Structure 1
Amino acid sequence: MSAFICFILGFLLGYAIRSLKKEKTVNNVVRRYSAPMTYQQKLHLKTHHQNDSDRIRELNELSRNQSVFLRLLKQTFINHEIAIKQKRFIILDRDYLPCAIFEYRDGTQAIKLMDHEDGLPLYLYKGLISSDELKQDYLNIISGQE
């Protein structure tokens, strides 16, 4: 009987010591400084997806007119890659860094606006699908890069 009591006391004492060791290791957490992201890293995150399923999901969410607009962009920007993120078309240069952002929205009145976002030209097309306007923007982007 005394062996059984010693066994139970040993078990409880071992459990108590083990739980104290766990508490000590939790308190010794090393915190590392994470440097802020550079401009290049921010641009990279703006254009790249985590995996292919995210990229395919973005393509499937496009409306019919946005798909037509994407086709016109691909015909106009032949030597550039086009990334789609949050229903925006991002034109990438040879280094896969963005050089311009295009956005198309459906609407009844045709409007074309130009703005800047994060140092990149942002072209907003609303209810306007025109290859001539895209060619003009292409020439503006190419002349600005050189």
Structure 2
Amino acid sequence: MYALILLILGFILGFFTRGLISKPTYQQKKRSYYRPLTHQQKLQLKSFHQTDSDRIRELNLLSTNESSFLRLLKQTFIDFDVAIKQKRFIILDKDKMPCAIFEYRDGTQAIKLVDKEDGIPLHLYKGLISSSELKIDYQNIISAYK
């Protein structure tokens, strides 16, 4: 019985003396403000990989037709870099900013479509691997780029 009373008395005294002991002063937490990305930062994120292994993994996922399409892109766009992200071929200028996006899909019927995504021309090739079509797109991109 005495042990129970002493235990309860110890809890009560501990509760009240806890407030008397000086608490360590905590530094005020730095507030992190959410700053939305600018349009230019979003465009740069389209083409950058976190690591080299991610870039290599993207290259390994390409099919044989996509690999040959990539070779044609690199031959056509000599002055530009070609980045691959999510099976999309992104043409980068000297400042590493995307100036065109190419996408290749396998198919039985040859189709070529041009659209815009975030202000960047998106060229979709389906079942069509043609260096002459790529040269036409190259001329259009160069004329719009100047």
Give the TM-score band, short-chain normalised. Answer: 0.7 to 0.9
Q: Which runs of 5+ in 2 are unaligned?
A: 1-9
TM-score in terms of structure 2 length: 0.82
Larger Rg computed on CA atoms: 2
Match of residue 87 from structure 1: 87
CA–CA distance in 2 between the matches of 1:96 and 1:112?
Answer: 26
TM-score in terms of structure 1 length: 0.82
Match of residue 71 from structure 1: 71
Letter in 1 for 2:96: Y
Paired residues in the alignment total 133
Q: Which structure 2 residues correspond to residues 28-47 of structure 1 after superposition, within 5 A?
A: 29-47=29-47
Alpha-carbon offset, residue 29 of structure 1: 4.2
Alpha-carbon offset, residue 40 of structure 1: 1.2
Match of residue 118 from structure 1: 118
Alpha-carbon offset, residue 32 of structure 1: 1.6
Q: Deviations over 1:29-88 (max 9, x none)?
A: 443212110111101111000000000000000011000000000000001000000000
Give the structure with the higher percent helix: 1
Ranges of 4+ aligned residues in structure 1 off by more than 3 Å? none
CA–CA distance in 1 between the matches of 2:137 and 2:47?
Answer: 20
**Identity, % of aligned pairs?**
69
CA–CA distance in 1 between the matches of 2:134 and 2:104?
Answer: 12
**Secondary structure class of the residue paired with 2:99:** strand
